[in-house]
Amino acid sequence: MKYVVALVLGLIIGAAILAVGVVYNPFTVDRVLSPLSVTEAQVIVLKFSRVPAESLVYTNNGDSVPSPYPEKVLQLWEAPIRKTSAMATVMRDARNQPAGIGIKISSLSESTHLLRGEAIVDSIWYVYAPQHGSMFIQQTENYLPFVREVAFPAWKSAANSWRGTWMGNMTSGPGALGIAAVSGGSGRVKGLDLDGVETLSVRAFSADAGFVAAEGQLLIELPDPSDDEEDVLVR
């Protein structure tokens, strides 16, 4: 009997070691620096709050954290959309002035591979900013660095919360170097295929309520006007 107990205890500890190893995997690299932060091209900056109560609408299946906002919003409880959340928010420009509206829809991704250090979310943005036009942004986001450095410590703490300063580059694809694909639909970006990146800055997080103080930012790189001139010269 004691051998069975020792074996079971070993199995549990082995599984726990792997779980800790997945969260604190030393072979995964966190991309803190956005590839667009070193670009010389013109960049559209769109900021937004990640706190559901500061958005216009936030909804999910109703059982997950955070809770939907406003309280009576339709919940996404049906099986095909149960692992999806949607948020509508006012987008602000680099000077913190209202720039337009943005809607983000995120779904847990089947390409998640925890052994490779990937907790993937497939997300899309629809942004309408009168100054620029309408944009569709598609990306994959890796939440494992956020889980490791913010959500897991919050869950471990006695108060179920985390305070500090965490900044991360959430976009992990589909483009190389963790770039999102941006497609312009109208206005000055009509017909353009651009690169984008979403970053997240967290100051307070609760394991029970989600983001308490957090801000996101979309960076969208505009094409260099001189590129067109060079094309003409080559032709």
Residue 130, preceding peptide bond in cis (omega within 30° of 0): no
Residues of this chain, 3-42, that bind another protein according to CB under 8 A = 3, 6-19, 22
Residue 172 sits in the site that holds another protein (CB under 8 A)? no
For another protein, the binding residue among 23, 45, 105, 167 (CB under 8 A) is 105
Q: Which is nearer to another protein, 64 or 161 (CB)?
A: 64
Helix, strand or coil for residue 154? helix
DSSP state of 186: S
Q: Which is nearer to another protein, 8 or 159 (CB)?
A: 8
Residue 67 sits in the site that holds another protein (CB under 8 A)? no
Q: Which is nearer to another protein, 46 or 202 (CB)?
A: 46
Residue 112 sits in the site that holds another protein (CB under 8 A)? yes
> What's the rounded Cα separation, in Å, for the pair 204 and 111?
29
Q: Which stretch binds another protein (CB under 8 A): 24-32, 76-84, 147-155, 213-221?
A: 76-84
Q: Which is nearer to another protein, 11 or 32 (CB)?
A: 11
Give me the amino acid identity at 113: H
Q: Is the dihedral of CA 114, 115, 118, 122 positive or negative?
A: negative
Residue 81 sits in the site that holds another protein (CB under 8 A)? yes
Say if residue 12 is exposed, middle or buried (CB neighbours under 10 Å; 0-12, 13-18, 19+): exposed
Task: Compute the C-alpha angle 164/70/98, nearest 5°.
Answer: 65
Residue 117 sits in the site that holds another protein (CB under 8 A)? no
Q: Which is nearer to another protein, 135 or 200 (CB)?
A: 135
Phi, psi angles (nearest 5°) of residue 94: -65, -25
The 196-235 site mask, x for binding another protein (CB under 8 A), equals ----------------------------------------
Task: Compute the C-alpha angle 39/99/52, nearest 5°.
Answer: 100
Helix, strand or coil for residue 235? coil
Residue 192 sits in the site that holds another protein (CB under 8 A)? no
Q: Is the dihedral of CA 113, 218, 225, 130 positive or negative?
A: positive
How far the first Cα of the chain sits from its last, in Å, is 82
> What's the rounded Cα separation, in Å, for the pair 228 and 234?
10
The 124-143 site mask, x for binding another protein (CB under 8 A), equals x-x-xxx--xx-x-x-----
**Residues near another protein, by CB under 8 A:** 2-3, 6-19, 22, 56-57, 59, 70-74, 76, 78-84, 86, 88, 90, 98-101, 103, 105, 107-110, 112-115, 122, 124, 126, 128-130, 133-134, 136, 138, 174, 181, 183, 185-187, 193
